[in-house]
Amino acid sequence: MATRLYGLIGHTLGHSFSAGYFARKFAADAALADCEYRNFELPTIDDLPRMLAENPDLRGFNVTIPYKREVFAYLDEISDEAREIGAVNCVKLVDNRLIGYNTDVDGIRSTLDALIGGAHPATLLLGTGGASQAVQYVLAERGIEYAIVSRDPMRGNMTYEQIDERVMSEVGLVINATPVGTFPKVDEAPEIPYHLLDESHALFDLVYNPPMTRFLALGAERGAQTVNGQLMLERQAERAWAIWNE
């Protein structure tokens, strides 16, 4: 029986979530015994055609940093949602055609449901990459006002240096959509004024490794409600699985 192969493309995948998640999923279901999930480390996105040629059994793959936008150039079709977001994290292969989707939004929706329910707090969104674009899509979908924070004043609404007491008093949610604080650099955290946080704030960190990032720990110390990226990852993975097997 041929292997049903799936995988993940990106750069520096040693600590990725997906391979372990799908290995456990496949091991728990005898009907999935012929399935395999591999990490495909690509030095550049230009290596994608070679990887595809070398793995003819591949049925679909996830996309992570730094290729969520660069992969667009290799896709034959893109879902309307992924096109509007401007980032793809899931690709399905159909008759040698590559179809791009964004399942991050499913995970973000589920996490916001758990964290804030139907509330609409003004939000600070840290970061401008592919993950940030998916968050922006969901916030706009819910009618939540947000400001994008970037080190580059040309890419966001404000810089980290501009986050002051007035700003923090007006927002109720801070979302970290940067990789800052990811293992092994666990002592790092986005440079926001943590001393201005209190129990009126909620923090959502898309980082999941470690489970309690310094960003979340500093918020929790001030009484803020916190959630990491674990639920988001699980929900986006299950949505990707559904897409690959539709």
Please list the active-site residues.
Answer: 68
Instruction: Write a three-state SS string for 191-212.
Output: CCCHHHCCCCCEEEECCCCCCC
Cα–Cα separations (whole angstroms), residue 215 to 1, 199, 203, 218: 47, 15, 8, 6
Cα–Cα separations (whole angstroms), residue 80 to 59, 73, 145, 241: 21, 16, 23, 19
Direct distance between the N- and C-terminal alpha carbons of the chain, in angstroms, rounded to an integer? 20
Cis bond before residue 66 (omega within 30° of 0): yes
Pair of tokens at residue 242: 């559904």
Cα–Cα dist 169/151, whole Å: 21
Cis bond before residue 49 (omega within 30° of 0): no
- Are 110 and 232 in contact by the 8 Å Cβ rule? The answer is yes
